[in-house]
Amino acid sequence: MARVPTYSSLGAGPLVVLLHGAGGGFRSFAPQVETLASLGFRAVAWNMPGYGLSPPIEPYGFKGLAESCIALIEALAPEGGAEPVALVGHGLGGMVAQEVALRRPDLVRQLVLVATAAAVAPGDAYSRHAAQGLGWLDEGRDMTAIAEALLPQLVSPRALPAGVQLARHVLTQVHAATWRRALQALSGFDRRAALGHIHVPTLLVAGAQDTVAPPAVLQGMAAAVSGARCVSLADAGHLPHLERPDEFDELLLEFLRHARAWLH
C-alpha cells in the first residue's frame, strides 16, 4: 500500500483536496486553503511524494503518484469508508487528478483542472517547458536561480505581486532531484483517449496568457469531458490561483457549491 504523504488541513465540511504542480508544495494553494476553510469546507493541500517531508516513491510516475493520492483520500476518510472528494489539481497535479478520477471514480465527486494538459507530447509547449527546466538542472543551476529565471516566463505582467512572491518561495524549497524526476515524468503522460470516461462535474481553468498550458489546450479537454466547462482568467499565466486569487476563488467556490446546475 502507498505511504500517506504529508499535508496541511484547515476547516471542517465537504473535503477539497488540492494537488500542486511540479514547482510547488502544499503552500502553493495557501490562499485557497484559507478561503475554503472560512466558508465551510475542509481544505487539504498535500506535499506530493518527494516534496517537503512526503516520502519519495520509486519508480516516480503517474501510477505511483495516483496511488499516493488515493492513499491520502482514504486516510482522510471518516470511519466507515472513504467519501468522494472535490479534487483540484494544478499543472502536474492536474495530471495526477485526472489519473485518480479515472482509476478511482468512486473517490471523486468534482474535478477542477488548472493550467494542465491531457498529454505531454514531444515538441509541444509542456514538453518544451520540461526540457528547459531539465537543461537548467544539467547546467548546475540551483533552485533559487531557476526560480528567478522561470517565474517571469510563467506569470502575467499584471499578476498579483504577493502571489508571485509566494510561488517563488515555494519553488526555491523544492528539492532539485525531485523537480528533475517530476519533469521527467511529464513526458510519459497521455490520457487524451480516456477523457471521455470522466463522468463527474469538471471545471477547467486556464490562464489567458499561459504559454505552458494555453487556453486552447484546456478548451480541447473540456470538449472531451462530458458536461465540462472551461474558463480563462484574464491577466493570468500558468499560476492563475496565485496570480488572480480572488477571481480564481470566486470561480472555484461557485463550482463547488453549484457544480451540476452551473455546468448545464
As a whole number, mean pLDDT of residues 168-175 equals 98
Tell me what pLDDT residue 78 has: 76
Tell me what pLDDT residue 34 has: 97
What one-character-per-residue DSSP string does 219-249 give? HHHHHHSTT-EEEEETT--S-HHHHSHHHHH
Residue 191 domain flag: yes
Q: The C-alpha cell of 187 is what?
A: 513526458
Whether 262 has a pLDDT exceeding 50, the answer reads: no
Of 4 and 262, the structure prediction assigns the larger pLDDT to 4
* pLDDT band of 2, cuts 50, 70, 90: low
Question: Is residue 165 within 8 Å of 242, Cβ to Cβ?
Answer: no
Whether 264 has a pLDDT exceeding 60, the answer reads: no
What would the pLDDT profile of 79-136 be if each residue is shown by its tens digit?
Answer: 666 789 999 999 999 999 999 999 999 999 999 999 999 999 999 999 999 999 999 9
* pLDDT band of 77, cuts 50, 70, 90: confident
Give the rounded distance of the alpha carbon of 168 from its chain centre: 16
Residue 44 domain flag: yes
Element (H, E) at 179: helix 176-186
Q: What is the mean pLDDT of the chain?
A: 95
As a whole number, mean pLDDT of residues 182-198 equals 96
Q: Residue 228 and residue 98: Cα distance in Å, rounded? A: 13
Question: Is residue 19 within 8 Å of 25, Cβ to Cβ?
Answer: no
Query: 63: Cβ–Cβ under 8 A, 6 or more apart, which residues?
Result: 99
Share of residues in the chain with pLDDT > 90 (%): 92
How many domains does the chain contain in total?
Answer: 1
Whether 260 has a pLDDT exceeding 70, the answer reads: no
* pLDDT band of 263, cuts 50, 70, 90: very low
Give the rounded distance of the alpha carbon of 185 from its chain centre: 15
Tell me what pLDDT residue 80 has: 60
Residue 22 domain flag: yes
The CA distances from residue 9 to 27, 156, 206, in Å, are 11, 29, 26
Residue 2 domain flag: no
Check which CATH number belongs to the domain holding 219 and give it: 3.40.50.1820
Residue 226 domain flag: yes
Tell me what pLDDT residue 53 has: 94
As a whole number, mean pLDDT of residues 57-82 equals 90
Q: Residue 88 and residue 262: Cα distance in Å, rounded? A: 17
What one-character-per-residue DSSP string does 5-48 give? PPEEEE-SSSEEEEE--TT--GGGGHHHHHHHHHTT-EEEEE--
What would the pLDDT profile of 202-230 be if each residue is shown by its tens digit?
Answer: 999 999 999 999 999 999 999 999 989 99
Neighbours of 260 (CB within 10 A): 10
Residue 11 domain flag: yes
Of 158 and 2, the structure prediction assigns the larger pLDDT to 158
Opening angle at CA 151, ends 147 and 152, nearest 5: 130
Which residue, among 241, 246, 247, 257, has the nearest Cα to 114 in the 3D structure?
A: 241
Whether 1 has a pLDDT exceeding 60, the answer reads: no
Q: The C-alpha cell of 71 is what?
A: 492513499
Write out the residue range of the structural domain in which residue 224 sits: 7-259
As a whole number, mean pLDDT of residues 11-19 equals 96
Whether 258 has a pLDDT exceeding 90, the answer reads: no
